[in-house]
Structure 1
Amino acid sequence: MKRITSVAVLTMMMLLSGCSSSYVMSTKDGHMIMTDGKPEIDKDTGLVKYTDQAGNEMQINGDEVSSIIER
């Protein structure tokens, strides 16, 4: 019975982790920023808003970003 419960919990965790995509943003100075979910570009301010892997909401100037790639 424990084995079935463990398999069910593991399956649920894998399904839930598949719901959000990770992205990698590279900056013009060579840094790689891993995000949790898709970054949003604010057209009015030029800022790129994203959630880092620790769950913190962050912003970066869009002029500093050279690419955003889904992982």
Structure 2
Amino acid sequence: MKKFVAVFGLALLTFTVAGCSSDYVLEKKNGEMIITHGKPEVDDDTGLITYEDIAGNEHAINRDQIIQMIEK
């Protein structure tokens, strides 16, 4: 059931949020979905993924917290 909700939420986000084709959706292990503006950058040395959210703010998250990255 949780997987269905996550997939449904991802589909809903994909169809409701306007943006260019280079935006990505990051799915975290806790089920949270993050929409990025542009392709996230992965730093193999630190294990961090840096991204810009749709509001233009820069963030970094540990790669271990991300299940998948999907291009919108």
TM-score by length of structure 1 reads 0.71
Cα distance in structure 1, aligned partners of 2:68 and 2:61: 13
Cα distance in structure 1, aligned partners of 2:22 and 2:47: 23
Letter in 2 for 1:60: I
Shift of 1:52: 0.3
Q: Partner of 2:60: helix, strand, or coil?
A: strand
Shift of 1:21: 1.2
Give the number of aligned pairs: 54
Q: What do you get for the CA RMSD once the two structures are aligned?
A: 1.3
Larger radius of gyration: 1
Structure 1: which 4+ aligned runs deviate by more than 6 Å? none
Residue 70 of structure 2 corresponds to: 69
**5+ unaligned residues in a row in structure 1: which ranges?**
1-16
Residue 41 of structure 2 corresponds to: 40
Q: Partner of 1:26: helix, strand, or coil?
A: strand
Cα distance in structure 1, aligned partners of 2:34 and 2:42: 15
Q: Partner of 1:30: helix, strand, or coil?
A: coil
Shift of 1:40: 0.7
Percent identity for Structure 1 against Structure 2: 54
Pairwise mapping of residues 6-25 of structure 1 onto structure 2 (< 5 A)?
18=20, 21-25=22-26
